[in-house]
Structure 1
């Protein structure tokens, strides 16, 4: 994979992770916590894919290979970090929805 393909792979995986996390949140809002968990697992897998690709770039540089730093690469990194942060926030929000649901059902 060339650098451009690597960058776009990170962007795509990060975007997919965010979308799955928001799908999970929607399910939680509707009370479907099992489906929310499924979406969160898919989101985590997408983050994992992006991390693998990111790691390949880091390993290249660690091995002394010159890695071109572009605005597009920085953009990809931004997408990945945002996806991770949003996924973690959504996990906390889903836990709150669960607590609310449990309290309402008492």
Structure 2
């Protein structure tokens, strides 16, 4: 496996982990565990940083005039899509948690 493929797989994996943590947070809200939900969202953000680092590295490589251009592959497109949807899911889930908590008179 090439370095590029490893970076792309790392991006997909980190994005998936981030999204999974966000959905775990939403499940915690169903049982009123808001502190646990916040912890899981914090973990989601932390994992997202790993995905962001990989994405930034790939973008910098592509913009480097001295480097070979990064080939755009289906796997690369999938990785970017996976990363973007994980961010969207986390942001929406964070807002849902705030809404549910305010409805219940939480914090």
Q: Name the TM-score, length of structure 1 as normaliser.
A: 0.92
Check whether the contact 1:6–1:53 (CA below 8 A) recurs between aligned residues.
Answer: yes
How far apart in 2 are the matches of 1:92 and 1:34?
15
Deviation at 1:91, TM superposition (A): 0.5
Which piece of structure 1 moves more, 87-96 or 1-10? Answer: 1-10
Deviation at 1:68, TM superposition (A): 1.2
Check whether the contact 1:21–1:40 (CA below 8 A) recurs between aligned residues.
Answer: yes
Q: Tell me the matched-pair count.
A: 103
Q: Name the TM-score, length of structure 2 as normaliser.
A: 0.92
Q: Which residue of 1 aligns with 2:102?
A: 99
Deviation at 1:74, TM superposition (A): 0.2
Check whether the contact 1:13–1:49 (CA below 8 A) recurs between aligned residues.
Answer: yes
In structure 2, stretches of 5+ residues that fail to align are: none
Deviation at 1:5, TM superposition (A): 0.3
Moved over 3 A (4+): none
The alignment's C-alpha RMSD in Å is 1.2
In structure 1, stretches of 5+ residues that fail to align are: none
